[in-house]
Amino acid sequence: MGNKLLHYSIALLLITAEVLLLYAGYFLFYPFHPVTFNKDRFEIVTKEVKRGESLVYRADVCKNMDIATEVTRSFNNSLVYLLSPTTSTRPEGCSVTNVAISVPEELPTGEYFLRTRFTYRLNALRTITVTHDTEGFTIVE
């Protein structure tokens, strides 16, 4: 009787471990796509912008998962000027939105593009980061 109970306990333990491994494997390796971009680059609305004014770009995006997103932006040319991260709680679905970003006063004039990094924390095991750029624009005096 005791031997039979031991066999059932071991079998139950092995089945539970296998189910947990499959569950963890799903979250680690399943190809989640939290966001889809409908264009290769975000379209710039204000092609020329002065320091201290707002750069406006059009984001044509479909968000496929209803989770909070950390958004980090940077102005890029031969240097990278990183802006403070923000959190987006945009709901799931598709939208075309004009986004305004203030151009820092300390940026030199010249040709730039804006790089946006979206970080999705899906669960305790998995974080997905997606990067998307804008078209080029000019910062003028």
Region 100-121: mean pLDDT is: 95
Q: Residue 1's pLDDT band (boundaries 50, 70, 90)?
A: low
Residue 3 has pLDDT above 90, yes or no: no
Alpha helices in the chain (DSSP H): 2-29
φ/ψ of residue 22, rounded to 5: -65, -40
User: Which has the closest alpha carbon to 133: 51, 57, 55, 48?
Assistant: 57
| pLDDT for res 29 | 82
Could you name the CATH architecture of 35-140? Distorted Sandwich (2.70)
Region 10-34: mean pLDDT is: 89
| pLDDT for res 139 | 95
Residue 10 has pLDDT above 70, yes or no: yes
What tens digit of pLDDT does each residue of 35-64 get? Answer: 999 999 999 999 999 999 999 999 999 999
Task: With beta carbons less than 8 A apart as the criterion, state whether 129 and 119 touch.
Answer: yes
Backbone region of residue 46 per phi and psi (left: phi > 0; alpha: psi in -120 to 50; beta: other values) = beta
* Tokens read off for 86: 């923000």
| pLDDT for res 97 | 93
Domain boundary assignment for the chain: 1-30, 35-140
**Mean pLDDT for the chain overall:** 92
Extract the runs of DSSP E, i.e. beta strands, from the chain. 35-37, 43-44, 48-50, 54-63, 69-76, 80-82, 86-88, 93-102, 110-121, 127-133, 137-140
